[in-house]
């Protein structure tokens, strides 16, 4: 009887262990957001992603980094809806670094740091220019400028750069209504925006005093894509020859001699700098005829 009881307990324990093992395997098989490396989708710069089982949305930017949207309000200034967001297994993002917060689109909102009285206009790249007073705010953002002010928490403030400049004119990226048409301010001029605007851009068109806009020159038309721009811009390439104010440099390329390259060209490795500007080749005097 004792032997039978021992065998029964052994079989029962074995059955329990087997069931637990099968449950664990089933759990990991059905667990959302987990994928093998070769099952992860192909992702590139500009893609919007959200980890499975989470509500956070990230933008994939340069340098293999993810930039996050602190809230839907910021997201809505860049995109009309969430249809382009890709749900991906969370572990597929493990190799991505965190690049920081995405700022509001230029001209879409006014911002202030939490607990600070200063209000700033947002320019491209998260650059901030301080608005000195209420008159300036009304001039550049309309009578309802106060409804555009957003408090930014410290952790999201890193997405902005406070400049020493104060807002003195309509700035890059602003969308305004002038003589019944919609324009975007680019390079200090007004550019008519073609086509039907998305609702998220339409609501950010500013109605200001048209007399203040008349001094701006009207230039060629642009599309809505030019209005929106890019949330995270590619970092500017460092100037390989900062000592030169010219667009071209003269280098010595071993095996080829003197060669002229644009500073933005893909200059081969191993060359040695000779001078700023294009190469000047000494004329060769032909040998006298024999």
- pTM, whole model, 2 decimals? 0.70
CA angle 108, 223, 81 (to 5 degrees): 55
93/142 Cα distance (integer angstroms) = 42
100/58 Cα distance (integer angstroms) = 10
Sign of CA dihedral 32, 34, 35, 36: negative
- E strand or H helix at 189, and its extent? strand 189-192
- How does DSSP classify residue 40? S
**Closest Cα partner for 105 from 176, 187, 201?**
201
Model pLDDT, residue 163:
95
33, 101, 160, 205, 267 from 94: Cα distances, Å: 12, 18, 26, 39, 35
**Per-residue pLDDT in tens (0 to 9) along the chain, 290 residues:** 455 565 555 555 556 555 655 544 444 444 444 455 447 888 999 999 999 999 999 999 988 899 999 999 999 999 999 999 999 999 999 999 999 999 999 999 999 999 999 999 999 999 999 999 999 999 999 999 999 999 999 999 999 999 999 999 999 999 999 999 999 999 999 999 999 999 999 999 999 999 999 999 999 999 999 899 889 876 555 678 888 888 889 999 888 889 998 887 778 888 999 999 888 875 545 556 65
Q: Return all residues near 88 (Cβ < 8 A) that are at least 6 apart.
A: 40, 41, 43, 49, 50, 51, 52
Model pLDDT, residue 204:
95
String of DSSP letters for 99-125: EEEPPPPTTT-EEEETT---EEEEEGG
Domain ranges of the chain: 39-101, 110-228, 237-283
Model pLDDT, residue 255:
80
> Beta partners for 127?
123, 161
Q: SS3 of 194, please?
A: coil
- E strand or H helix at 25, and its extent? helix 2-30
């Amino acid at each position: 009887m004792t032997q039978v009881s021992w065998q029964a307990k052994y079989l029962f324990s074995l059955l329990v262990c087997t069931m637990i093992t099968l449950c664990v395997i089933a759990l990991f098989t059905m667990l959302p957001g987990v994928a093998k490396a070769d099952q992860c989708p192909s992702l590139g710069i500009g893609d919007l992603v959200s980890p499975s089982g989470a509500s956070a949305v990230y933008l994939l930017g340069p340098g293999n980094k993810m930039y996050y949207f602190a809230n839907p309000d910021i997201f809505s200034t860049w995109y009309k809806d969430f249809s382009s967001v890709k749900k991906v297994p969370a572990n597929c993002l493990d190799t991505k670094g965190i690049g920081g917060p995405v700022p509001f689109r230029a001209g879409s909102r006014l911002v202030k740091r939490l607990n600070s009285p200063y209000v700033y206009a947002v320019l491209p790249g998260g650059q901030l220019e301080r608005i000195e007073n209420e008159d300036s705010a009304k001039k550049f953002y309309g009578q309802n400028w106060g409804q555009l002010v957003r408090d930014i928490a410290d952790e999201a403030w890193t997405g902005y750069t406070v400049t020493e400049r104060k807002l003195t004119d309509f700035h890059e990226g602003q969308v305004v209504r002038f003589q019944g048409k919609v324009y975007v301010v680019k390079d200090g001029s007004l550019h008519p925006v073609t086509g039907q605007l998305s609702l998220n851009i339409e609501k950010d068109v500013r109605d200001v005093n048209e007399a203040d806009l008349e001094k701006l020159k009207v230039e060629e038309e642009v599309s809505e894509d030019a209005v929106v721009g890019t949330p995270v811009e590619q970092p500017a390439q460092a100037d390989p020859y900062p000592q030169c104010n010219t667009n071209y440099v003269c280098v010595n390329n071993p095996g080829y001699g003197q060669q002229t390259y644009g500073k933005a060209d893909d200059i081969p490795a191993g060359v040695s700098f000779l001078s700023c500007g294009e190469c000047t080749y000494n004329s060769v005097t032909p040998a006298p005829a024999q």
